[in-house]
Amino acid sequence: MKTLRRLPWTEEGRAAYVPPGDGIVNHLADLMEAEMLVAAEADASRGRALAGDPAASSAELRTAVQYLAHAVEEAALVAGLRAERLLGVEA
């Protein structure tokens, strides 16, 4: 079985795959993964700043936790996708 690349999005709730290579879909997946990591870094920075603000309300902190949880999920997804490619996991 040929190794396929799992994409960082789903199609109708199911994992989407593409053959590895230099095609447009692979390029879009690379861009999306990079954007996910940049957003996670920005959320972490904002969360850290908010956590250090003694005037931050509990509602602001709860919202920050929601953003941070989403950022961790996305970073973990990117890490998993990259591990699959490094290890040659077959789809």
pLDDT-based confidence at 88, cuts 50/70/90?
Answer: confident
Instruction: Please write down the HEC assignment for all residues of the chain.
Output: CCCCEEEEEEECCEEEEECCCCCHHHHHHHHHHHHHHHHHHHHHHHHHHHHCCCCCCHHHHHHHHHHHHHHHHHHHHHHHHHHHHHHCCCC
**Could you report the per-residue pLDDT of 34-64, keeping only the tens digit for each?**
999 999 999 999 999 999 999 999 999 999 9
* Domain locations along the chain: 5-87
**Could you report the per-residue pLDDT of 15-31, keeping only the tens digit for each?**
999 999 999 999 999 99
Mean pLDDT of 59-82: 96
Q: Which residue has the higher pLDDT, 60 or 88?
A: 60
